[in-house]
Each structure stands twice: as structure tokens, then as C-alpha cells.
Amino acid sequence: MKRRFTMKFQPESTKKPLTYHLIKDYNLKVNILRADITEGQEGRLLMEVEASKADLDKGLKFLESEGVTIIPLDQHLKWDKDNCIHCGACTAVCFSGALQMDRNTWEVNKDSEKCIVCGLCVSACPLKIITVEFR
Ligand code: SF4
Ligand code: SF4
């Protein structure tokens, strides 16, 4: 199974090789999509992880025991679909294909699994109805 998470690290954890342990000790395939880490300060990683459910559960438990806060990715992109005028501006900048125009209904659809939380759609939307929280 593949899952995307934001990992929020406490300052003391930014010095530890946690991703190394995830790969070596918990057999996780880790793909870091975005990183905001400065040693000695709170850090954040946007990460895609591939593993069996059992290994993933163990790896996430290990991170939590190290004081890492894990936030599933789908909590981060907020789209006020009810107020959307389906102009398509957001789909033009969404390279991952998470926001796409349905050519039959001419309505925009969102596939949260594909979103890499790049934030480009936020500034592209003229109505400012998309927000991304990178906590
Ligand atoms: S945050 Fe980026 S990947 Fe996600 S929907 Fe917006 S443009 Fe697409
Ligand atoms: S840019 Fe905004 S208004 Fe236009 S389709 Fe996307 S979410 Fe809807």
C-alpha cells in the first residue's frame, strides 16, 4: 500500500536519521516530496511511503515514539466545491492530475490521492476557494 503523510518533527528529532531507520529497520520505501528541515528547529516532511500494512503500522509507531506528529495528507487540501465556478484555472497548473476537468460534465473533480500539496492551485483560483495547510 502507498500512503502520503506530513511528518512534523520536534527540534531534537531533526538531528536523528529517522528516514534511514524507516527504510532499513521497517522495510518502507520512502519518497520525500517536500522538505522543510533546519537542524535544531521544528521540521516538516511531505512523504510518500510504500509498504505492507504491517510494516507501515510499525514504522509509523516508531516515528510517534520518537515524538513525530503524523498527519495524513488528505487533511491538507481544502476545496470549497460548492462555490466553485468550474473555470478550470486550477486544473491548468495541477501537474499531478489531482484536479481535472471532466470533459463530459465540464466540472472540476479532485483526486486527493494524486495531490502532492504543491500549492499552485491556491494562487491560480480567482475565487480563492482552495487552501492548503502545511502544518
Ligand atoms: S496542491 Fe498542487 S497537486 Fe494538489 S491539487 Fe493543487 S495544484 Fe494539484
Ligand atoms: S480555479 Fe477555483 S473556481 Fe476555478 S475551477 Fe478551480 S477551484 Fe473552481
Helix (H, G, I), strand (E, B) or coil at 128: coil
Q: What is the DSSP string of 76-134?
A: TEEE-GGG-----HHHHH-TTSSEEEETTTTEEEE-GGG-----HHHHH-TT--EEE--
Considering the entire predicted model, what is its pTM? Answer: 0.62
pLDDT of residue 86: 97
> Distance between CA atoms of 7 and 19, rounded to whole angstroms?
11
Residues 9 and 68 placed together within one structural domain of the fold: yes
List pLDDT tens digits, range 37-63.
Answer: 777 777 888 888 899 999 999 998 988
Pick the ligand that lies closest to the CA of residue 88.
Answer: 2
- Cβ–ligand 1 distance for 125 under 6 Å, the answer no
Task: Assess contact for 59 and 37: CB atoms under 8 A.
Answer: no
Residues 82 and 32 placed together within one structural domain of the fold: no
Q: Could you tell me the distance, in angstroms and rounded to a whole number, from the CA of residue 11 to the centre of ligand 1?
A: 28
Residues 90 and 125 placed together within one structural domain of the fold: yes
Residues 26 and 36 placed together within one structural domain of the fold: yes
Q: Is 50 left (phi over 0), alpha (psi -120 to 50) or beta?
A: beta
Q: Which helix (H) or strand (E) holds 2?
A: strand 2-9
Ligand 2: residues whose CB is within 6 Å? 84-90, 108, 124-125, 127, 129-130
Domain span at residue 32?
2-74
pLDDT of residue 72: 75
Residues 83 and 113 placed together within one structural domain of the fold: yes
* CATH number, position 107: 3.30.70.20
Instruction: Report the pLDDT averaged over residues 5-12.
Output: 80
Residues 58 and 86 placed together within one structural domain of the fold: no
Of 33, 90, 99, 133, the one to substitute when testing ligand 1's pocket (max ligand atoms within 8 A of C-beta) is 99
